[in-house]
């Protein structure tokens, strides 16, 4: 089972759609301090007929999620480091952010992994990203080449200022010139979740 984590989601309809996707794929949904009432009409409408079947856990904050899920804590380098059963890899954590240097499709997903997404307006906490750049991944999109390349080649070919800074993940960026492309949260979750399921041999996704 894969774990989808939404950290402080803000739009009920997105969470409802993601919940429906989790039900249909047998995934567990973790909600960290959602910015809305879970009984809101927009959420119920988006997840209509599915919400009651959803395996969902709700937490007051990020630390509460880690304390309740020791394998998630271990994936971040916590004191508990459970191994996978039967020689399987221990669950890993995938932090999805536009600042990730690695593409989500270049990662390897295993049963029990955590796919973590931030709030619609600001994404994941910058401190979390800066502390774990090796866990950060991005969905490749048109216009995100600024995160995929670096140095003088980057500046000369993209027409950016040669004095580039590194962001919290170590990417070279010029924030004055870089255009940021983003996806709707429910679309982003679906893209990453289905890639993870494809790698695990989910029926119909092995093409």
| 183 annotated as belonging to a binding site for a ligand | no
For 51, 52, 94, 190, the CA distances from 45, given in Å and listed in that order, are 10, 12, 29, 19
Domains present along the chain, CATH in parentheses: 3-140+182-199 (3.40.1280.10), 142-181 (no CATH)
CB atoms within 10 A of CB 37: 9
Kindly indicate the confidence band of residue 180, based on its pLDDT and cuts at 50, 70 and 90.
very low
| 118 annotated as belonging to a binding site for a ligand | yes
Residue pLDDT, tens place only, 121-137: 889 999 999 899 999 99
CB atoms within 10 A of CB 56: 17
Residue pLDDT, tens place only, 59-104: 999 999 999 998 888 888 765 444 555 556 788 999 999 878 888 9
| 107 annotated as belonging to a binding site for a ligand | no
Among residues 47, 62, 3, 44, the alpha carbon closest in space to that of 27 is found at: 3
Pairing of strands 172-173, 165-166: antiparallel
Among residues 69, 49, 48, 2, the alpha carbon closest in space to that of 29 is found at: 2
| 96 annotated as belonging to a binding site for a ligand | yes
């Amino acid at each position: 089972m894969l774990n989808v984590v939404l950290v402080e989601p803000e739009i009920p309809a997105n969470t409802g759609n993601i919940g429906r996707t989790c039900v249909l794929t047998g995934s567990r949904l973790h909600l960290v301090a959602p910015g809305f009432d879970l009984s809101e009409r927009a959420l119920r409408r988006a997840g209509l007929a599915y919400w009651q079947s959803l395996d969902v856990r709700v937490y007051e904050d990020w630390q509460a999620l880690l304390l309740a899920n020791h394998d998630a804590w271990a994936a971040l380098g916590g004191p508990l480091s459970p191994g996978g059963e039967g020689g399987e890899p221990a669950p890993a954590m995938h932090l999805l952010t536009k600042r990730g240097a690695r593409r989500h499709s270049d990662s390897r997903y295993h049963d029990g992994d955590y796919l973590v997404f931030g709030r619609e307006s600001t994404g994941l906490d910058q401190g979390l990203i800066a502390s774990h750049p090796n866990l950060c991944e991005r969905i490749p999109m048109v216009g995100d080449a600024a995160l995929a390349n670096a140095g003088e080649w980057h500046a000369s070919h993209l027409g950016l200022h040669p004095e580039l800074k590194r962001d919290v993940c170590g990417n070279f960026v010029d924030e004055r010139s870089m255009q940021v492309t983003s996806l709707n949260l429910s679309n982003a979750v679906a893209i990453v979740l289905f890639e993870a399921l494809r790698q695990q041999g989910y029926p119909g996704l092995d093409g």
